[in-house]
Structure 1
Amino acid sequence: MAHNLADLFEHAVDAYGADRLAVVEDERRLTYADLEAEANRWASALSSLGVGAGDHVGVHLRNGVDCLALILGVLKLRAVTISINYRYSGPELRYLYDYSDTSVLVFHREFGAAVTEAVSGLDAIRHTIVVEDGSGVDTLPDGALPARETLDAASAGRPGLERSGDDLYLVFTGGTTGKPKGVMWRQEDLWRSLGGGADYHTGEPVPDEYHQSKAGLGGDPLRYLILLPLIHTSGIMPSFTGLFAGGTMHYLPHFRAADVLEEIESEKIQVAVVAGDAMVRPLVDQMRRTEPDTSSMFMVSSGAALFSPSVKADLLGLRPDLMIMDAFGSSESGFGGLGVVTKANLDDGSLFSDHGPRIPRGTTLQLVDDLDEPLPDDSAEIGWIVKSGYQPSGYYKDEAKSAETFREVAGSRRVFTGDRGRYDGPDTIIMLGRASQVINSGGEKIFAEEVEAALKAVAGIEDAVVFGVPDERFGHRVGAVVQWSAPSPDGSPASPDSTSDAAGHPGDLDAVGLALREHLAGFKIPVAYWVVDRVERHPSSKTDYGWARRLVAERAPDHDRRTDAAGTA
């Protein structure tokens, strides 16, 4: 047997069968045997449509049983899943379908109109399959096959294929700074990096491919609530890790704070997988209002998005016994580092510097200068964070970008993560932020993520995006899009959950600037602000910088200190 994601899942099925619950979505509760039967039906149905090894299947679905079973079914055929951002529409969606060479597309009915427009004239898409979701959308592509009828006619037997650890898994970047790109991973390397196939701290491989399924036999299954989208590695890889070890995965198709806390309370969830501030802030506000019983939960695991110290402190203030796992990484680097946060080490300030989080270097992270030369451990210079170890083979259909991102340093291949950092002793790196979001203001380098974290810590601000705006004197200054917290029923500031359409209350942006000066140098304070009802983010909760750029291009700022005679630089 190979170190292949489908094989590893089948090992878990062989170990747990019909005796253990694998996945829960509302009233759908499938054992490991049930989940495999559904995945096998997907494999059989797709095979009957001509899908085989190496073919690309688009997954345009929200979280749930159908999404998970489809992904497993595609992998069983040695085919390749194409993760579709379900917030895309029009040209973005058409570009991704075309660029990814999708040949069969599976989508939820709610996306029918966008899918119909995007697939028109794309001859490479041979078949479309619609999964019912109760939305009642009428517009569907011609010839779209009904998923349930197609699956009911398919075989539930396990495909008899010999797979390989070399089988391709394509991970798609969020397209935060441009068009999305496919990152090509060998499945064994992806498993080693993000699926529990190696120790996260040392990189030491597990003894064999049965290690995880055997380990899960020793006790009761862990109950996970996966709130990150399965179309993103931060959602699917924790799901695989949990399934390989016999855990039970819980999914909600939509993120609503009240529904999340109800699921935690009623299902006795133990581990919640979230996307930093974007999910935890509304959860904290809902916990304050309703005081649910979350005592079953002992861990919150975050990835893919900023999880600022102020929001961690708010959560630990309500649940001081919680452990927070804050993972650092990307589609290109895989696992990059792990911060373990408790109330004790958050209170003592050891996890964060004045500029960013401290992350353990482990055996894979290093800093290099602009000439790709390694920086000494005692260097105070800001460098590029590079990673060795398990990594992708490159970008799909982009040799030039592959050569730029994956290159030799001191005789070994490294991933250039695009992040900037500074050593903080021999074992730790202070992560400063993405180089693509650095603002050069009169020669001063300002990291957008530092300013975003400071803005989110200001009372009354729910969310923020920071970027450079042109400036005649300094070249660029700091600009920000901000979302005010909506007032709670008792009049105190509170965050709306992700489905609220309440417009934020008017705020005092001069007061925001004064509050920021307690934590930031003056040149880092935004000079221009755009106020919005909601900051738009990708399904993974990563910042949608494309949306922010379009916004500032279309309208003047709501407040600009440079045009105020009382404003000071």
Structure 2
Amino acid sequence: MSFGYGDVFDAVAEAVHPDDPAIFCDGDTISWRQFSATSNALARAFQAAGFAPNAKVAQYMRNSPSYPLVFVAALKARLAPVNVNYRYGPDELAYLLDNSDAEIVVFDADYADNARALKPRIPSVKLWISANARVDGFAFLDDLTQGDGSKLDIQRAPEDMFLLYTGGTTGMPKGVMWPSNTWWDVLAAGRAPVLGMEPPQTLEALKTQIRSGEGRAPVYVAPPLMHGTGMFTGFSALSKGAPIVLTRNAGFHPPTALDAMTRHATGGMAIVGDAFAKPMLDALRAEPARYNVRAMRTITSSGMMWSPEVKQGLFEFMPDVMLFDSFGASEGTGLGASITTRDTKAEEARFDAPNTIVVRADDHTPIEPGSGEIGLVAKWGNLPLGYYKDPEKTARTYVEINGVRHLITGDHATVEAGGRIRLLGRGSHCINSGGEKIYPEEVEEGLKTHPKVVDALVFGLTDDRFGQSVAAVVSLEPGATATTEELIEHVRGRLSHYKAPRRLHILAQVPRSPNGKPDYPTAKELFAAAQA
């Protein structure tokens, strides 16, 4: 590959009809003519302001057409987009902007108060831009998109990159460096006209595919674009000329999503496991005559377990859909995949993984398939450069095994005799109770198989006798009732007794972030408050 990802979007603009839709959002349609012209104009504005290649552009934004506009404009100007989790508090935001060396910050007007507070704390930021509404004292995004919208005369490079910041188990947020050449290879499967077909490998081949009309059904992006699942799926669709469907609404509202999917006859969708799939299935069953999602061909999920029962239920309404359960992380994608169709059996957390092995934690030697031994997931091929400005963590996370660079994710798993990987959970959340290791994800899935349970989170609490004991919070179906004893006994009927929660509390809603990932600290706080 001899081009940057900004060149990809130039190629798409040349291949589509200018009036083809690029983005649907809450009744608005942005054509490729508009999207290409405004992203080119914004890229020129960045250049005119004196920003050099690889300057960081932080996006403190929710989903809207402005998000992909800023992301693509930055890549066209050879700048590096930086995702910002809009749920962060002031100190986390300040840390991320400082750690990323952000020189430009584009923020939704809803976050104007936070932007005003952050501005004097981060003097290295040279340009603050409000999006979606004017804010006194700041530049306005719409003003910067009114200039020359023609294609830029610029030589881009495969090294042009973006930073994908991740929090969770990494402590303070860390930025993963994704160069264009790696991202081009990573998004190859999604660039194919149909999942499983050969993707175009050159820009000319990409333009030929786009002109054929293949693979260009609209894709509904349910997670935030600042989250890896939403980002990779959304920009994969745009990079083959397929329109994406967004909503400005905070959170996931299944009727709104399904109405849009019906209206635009979407063929694809990005979700984050049961946090999105289960309420969507409930909405479909509640009003089956309201929605028509039979055009769906692919749903991609990553970042959370997706239960077999929910997968099977979706086939009632999407008979031809292919459910692509992807095992990935901000530090590397393609760790494994589980593809389910109406004619195959859905399974829990088992992945085909041709580029992934399971290794021992101490010496990184591969574990024998079928042995039942638990190890760490390690993946090779198409890996990012590492963590921005953190060579020590990069060296611990990306290690050489038998002369090949691998990503060690921190996820625990076993390898079945046939080579499939059974994911158990993230080691940092592992509960050690009386010497027994218990993975919260496994217990959560056990709870969620109860017909009255909508969602569950499981965590360890300090225990004088066993070191830690298993605790859980759950939420129930609307109008349903259940006793804690009933739910605990249900888990005992499916798993070893020592894995069942010893204490459990029922909440109106289990706490999760907008991208569907578990919010364990809040869950523990709510549990403690209920026990007080």
Q: Give the TM-score, by structure 2 length.
A: 0.92
**Letter aligned with residue 237 of structure 1:** F
- Once the two structures are superposed, residues 193-243 of structure 1 have per-residue CA deviations (whole angstroms, 9 ceiling, x without a partner) of 235489999999854233333223223521111112211221122222222
Quote how far apart the aligned CAs of 1:477 are. Answer: 1.4
For 1:367 and 1:54, locate their aligned partners in 2 and report how far apart those are by CA, in whole Å.
Answer: 35
Q: Which moved more, 1:180-189 or 1:459-468?
A: 459-468
Quote how far apart the aligned CAs of 1:326 are. Answer: 0.9
For 2:74 and 2:191, locate their aligned partners in 1 and report how far apart those are by CA, in whole Å.
Answer: 24
- What does 1:76-475 align with in structure 2 at a 5 Å threshold? 76-132=76-132, 143-152=137-146, 154-176=147-169, 178-196=171-189, 207-219=201-213, 221-254=216-249, 255-291=252-288, 292-346=291-345, 351-352=346-347, 356-362=348-354, 364-370=355-361, 371-475=363-467
Structure 2 residues without counterparts, runs of 5 or longer? none
DSSP 3-state at the match of 2:473: strand
**Letter aligned with residue 364 of structure 2:** D
Quote how far apart the aligned CAs of 1:83 are. Answer: 0.5
Quote how far apart the aligned CAs of 1:120 are. Answer: 3.3
DSSP 3-state at the match of 1:542: coil
**Letter aligned with residue 286 of structure 2:** R
For 1:81 and 1:289, locate their aligned partners in 2 and report how far apart those are by CA, in whole Å.
Answer: 40
- Cα–Cα, structure 1 residues 176 and 386, in superposed 2: closer, same or farther, change >3 Å? closer
CA contact (8 A) 1:423 1:429 kept: yes
Quote how far apart the aligned CAs of 1:526 are. Answer: 0.9
Which of 452, 466, 478 is the equivalent residue of 2:470? 478
Q: Matched residue pairs, number? A: 525
CA contact (8 A) 1:58 1:81 kept: yes
Extract structure 1 runs of 4+ deviating beyond 6 A.
197-205
- Once the two structures are superposed, residues 471-499 of structure 1 have per-residue CA deviations (whole angstroms, 9 ceiling, x without a partner) of 11211111112223333xxxxx4xxxxxx
DSSP 3-state at the match of 1:345: coil
- What is aligned with 1:502? none
**Letter aligned with residue 168 of structure 1:** M
- What is aligned with 1:9? 9
For 1:13 and 1:319, locate their aligned partners in 2 and report how far apart those are by CA, in whole Å.
Answer: 31
Q: Which moved more, 1:209-218 or 1:220-229?
A: 209-218
Q: Give the TM-score, by structure 1 length.
A: 0.86
Quote how far apart the aligned CAs of 1:511 are. Answer: 0.9
Quote how far apart the aligned CAs of 1:340 are. Answer: 0.8
Q: Does 1:38 align with 2:12?
A: no
CA contact (8 A) 2:16 2:210 kept: no
Q: Which moved more, 1:226-235 or 1:315-324?
A: 315-324
**Letter aligned with residue 53 of structure 2:** A
For 1:169 and 1:378, locate their aligned partners in 2 and report how far apart those are by CA, in whole Å.
Answer: 39
Which of 485, 490, 495 is the equivalent residue of 1:515? 490
**Letter aligned with residue 452 of structure 2:** G
CA contact (8 A) 1:176 1:545 kept: no
% identical aligned pairs: 30
For 1:450 and 1:58, locate their aligned partners in 2 and report how far apart those are by CA, in whole Å.
Answer: 36
Over aligned residue pairs, what C-alpha RMSD do you find?
Answer: 2.5
Q: Which moved more, 1:2-11 or 1:412-421?
A: 2-11
- Once the two structures are superposed, residues 281-302 of structure 1 have per-residue CA deviations (whole angstroms, 9 ceiling, x without a partner) of 2211111221122222232221
- Once the two structures are superposed, residues 116-173 of structure 1 have per-residue CA deviations (whole angstroms, 9 ceiling, x without a partner) of 223332211222111126xx9xxx5x62112223322x32122221111112221111
DSSP 3-state at the match of 1:377: coil
Q: Which moved more, 1:41-50 or 1:257-266?
A: 41-50
**Letter aligned with residue 164 of structure 2:** V
DSSP 3-state at the match of 1:216: helix
CA contact (8 A) 1:483 1:532 kept: yes
CA contact (8 A) 1:178 1:546 kept: no
- Cα–Cα, structure 1 residues 399 and 208, in superposed 2: closer, same or farther, change >3 Å? same
**Letter aligned with residue 526 of structure 1:** P
DSSP 3-state at the match of 1:541: coil
DSSP 3-state at the match of 1:526: coil
